[in-house]
């Protein structure tokens, strides 16, 4: 502690070289308060990490009852060390060293991890932070987090995914967040439910959203414009969306949603609905239903196939699209019944093949 004090003083920090005499926890507190000079006067990131590792080596020996404030202070200092993404990877590595230095079940790991998420998002270095949901689930159980802490962690992870342009992962996290609410507290989750819907609508890879309507917090939004908009994306047609937009243009813009992106997604969804009902769709039908110029029909079908929601073959001679398979936008009782009928038919056909093979196979 004395050596750290002397080193920081040599960098220009206003700190005494003499230890406090109160306890190591007080010395570390003084060192952390003076640590800003490290970022200003040390350029080599490996040296910066070594200095903070020296601080960590002392912090981990502090009695548990004195450790909380020091860990939180250190996290705040490292987060605020720079604006933007300067030395982002180095700062995350220092927090990672602290994280793994603490016992696996130490609830302070939660504070450190949340700081790593914030830095990962702010500095575009989320790729070096563990974000696997299975691993997070194990950690959450070990740390014995409250429901509020669990939800806060998921919100930070969602925001970090958005900041690093990982919209698909952000959508999954928001759905996970909403699933943490129960019947008793679902009414308190309106803000999260609202954000979840907007995230799903913005996500260019998210086409199936019927599961959101089953979430209790989303149900509390019934009667509001955001719920009506979600319902359109779940089961409505392009024409329904256009009518909604014409009547609620300001609302769409206030949500930060792109009307052009919404139109593209609704065209895909409407085409998916058509493809589950018909084996063939003419170019004229696509042109009329999806309000596309004739010259854009083939390009649109190719884009639809790229989503992997639809499998088709374009018949240019007859100006039609032959549907090979299509994903249902909603999966309810009717779809389960259809699946059951297909499986029954396959089983019957396999039995017929087996009987035919048995009839021609000589008995040994």
Question: Which token pair is 190?
Answer: 């309106």
Residue 4: predicted pLDDT: 86
Helix axes 108-122, 133-143, angle to 10 degrees: 150
Residue 198: the pLDDT is: 92
The pLDDT score that the predictor gives to residue 333 is 62
- List the structure tokens of 22: 């109160």
Sign of the CA dihedral running 297, 300, 304, 306: positive
Residues of the chain with pLDDT under 70: 82-85, 331-339, 341, 361-364
The pLDDT of residue 82 is: 67
Task: Give me the pLDDT at residue 215, please.
Answer: 86
pTM (2 d.p.): 0.74
- What kind and span of H or E run contains 273? helix 259-277
What's the number of CA atoms in the CB half-sphere (13 Å) around residue 92? 21
Contact of 289 with 270, CB cutoff 8 Å: yes
| Alpha-carbon span 300 to 296, nearest angstrom | 6
Quote the pLDDT of residue 35.
85
Q: Are 344 and 352 in contact (CB under 8 A)?
A: no
C-alpha distances out from residue 157 to 76, 154, 290, Å:
18, 5, 37
Q: Write down the residue that tokens 């955001």 correspond to.
A: 226
Q: Which of 242, 165, 236, 246 is nearest to 205 (CA)?
A: 165
- Per-residue model confidence (pLDDT) at position 363: 58
Residues 97, 115: Cα–Cα separation, whole Å: 13
pLDDT tens readout for residues 18-43: 777 778 888 888 888 888 888 888 88
pLDDT at site 353: 84
């Amino acid at each position: 502690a004395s050596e750290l004090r002397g080193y920081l003083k040599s960098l220009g920090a206003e700190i005494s070289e003499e230890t406090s005499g109160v306890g190591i926890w007080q010395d570390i507190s003084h060192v952390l308060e003076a640590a800003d000079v490290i970022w200003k006067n040390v350029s080599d990131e490996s040296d910066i990490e070594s200095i903070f590792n020296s601080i960590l080596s002392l912090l981990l020996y502090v009695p548990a009852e004195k450790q909380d404030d020091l860990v939180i202070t250190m996290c705040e200092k490292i987060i605020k060390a720079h604006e933007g993404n300067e030395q982002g990877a180095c700062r995350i590595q220092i927090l990672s060293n602290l994280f793994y230095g603490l016992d696996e079940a130490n609830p302070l790991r939660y504070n450190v991890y949340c700081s790593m998420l914030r830095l990962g998002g702010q500095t575009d270095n989320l790729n070096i932070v563990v974000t696997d949901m299975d691993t997070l689930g194990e950690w959450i159980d070990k740390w014995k987090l409250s429901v509020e802490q669990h939800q806060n962690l998921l919100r930070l992870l969602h925001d970090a995914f958005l900041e690093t342009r990982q919209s698909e992962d952000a959508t999954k996290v928001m759905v996970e967040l909403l699933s943490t609410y129960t019947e008793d507290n679902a009414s308190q989750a309106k803000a999260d439910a609202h954000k979840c819907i907007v995230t799903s609508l913005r996500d260019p890879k998210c086409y199936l959203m019927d599961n959101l309507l089953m979430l209790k917090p989303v149900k509390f939004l019934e009667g509001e414009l955001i719920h009506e908009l979600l319902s359109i994306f779940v089961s409505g047609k392009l024409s329904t969306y256009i009518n909604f937009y014409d009547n609620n243009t300001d609302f769409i813009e206030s949500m930060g949603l792109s009307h052009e992106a919404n139109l593209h997604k609704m065209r895909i969804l409407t085409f998916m609905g058509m493809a589950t009902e018909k084996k063939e769709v003419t170019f004229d039908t696509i042109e009329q239903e999806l309000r596309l110029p004739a010259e854009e029909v083939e390009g649109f079908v190719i884009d639809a196939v790229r989503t992997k929601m639809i499998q088709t073959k374009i018949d240019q001679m007859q100006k039609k699209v032959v549907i090979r398979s299509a994903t249902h936008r909603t999966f309810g009782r009717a779809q389960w019944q259809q699946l059951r009928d297909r499986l029954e038919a396959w089983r019957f056909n396999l039995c017929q093949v087996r009987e035919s093979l048995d009839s021609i196979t000589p008995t040994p």
